Structure 1
């Protein structure tokens, strides 16, 4: 996983790609690979397969957020959740 994060950081920090574009590309690549893993090169997911993959993503994302919250709290920092409409931390957006 760290190699993917490193690649994403290089694309944003060194090559100037938009962070949201890189995030979307990683999600798309993950979806393509999840489809390949389940159905191979010549198949695709039925609606219930899409729901199963989406549920796995949702559970994994919730787990990641819980771990992030615990890490912040262990450092004595305020674990404050943000929404999609909040500007990213460290940005000059308001």
Structure 2
């Protein structure tokens, strides 16, 4: 029997998109309250760092250097993927 809490599940991209949209919607609400986009971006990134640490190490744990490197690599891949998508979209829009 597998303990679901310790099993890593592959998350569907559509689920990630839906969840990301919720964060973007909240960020836009905060921006509309007069907060600076750079401050909102920093807060989102810091919150993501907190949650990435929790996800990997729990509430009381922390990431060793190798864990930090793994998280950084995931961020790098996600950012690179987003830029490719945005570039493709901009080329489609100008065609």
Q: TM-score, normalised by structure 2?
A: 0.78
Cα offset for 1:42? 1.1
- After the TM superposition, which residues 29-68 of structure 1 pair with which residues of structure 2 at under 5 Å, given as runs? 29-68=47-86
- 1:5 aligned residue (24, 28, 34): 24
SS of aligned partner of 1:75 = helix
Superposition misfits of 4+ residues, deviation over 4 angstroms: none
Instruction: Tell me the C-alpha RMSD between the 2 structures.
Output: 0.9
- 2:89 aligned residue (59, 71, 80): 71
Match of 1:87 in 2: none
Cα offset for 1:23? 0.2
Give the Cα separation in 1 of the matches to 2:57 and 2:40: 25
Q: What runs of 5+ residues in structure 2 fail to find an aligned partner? A: 1-19
Count of aligned residue pairs for this structure pair? 76
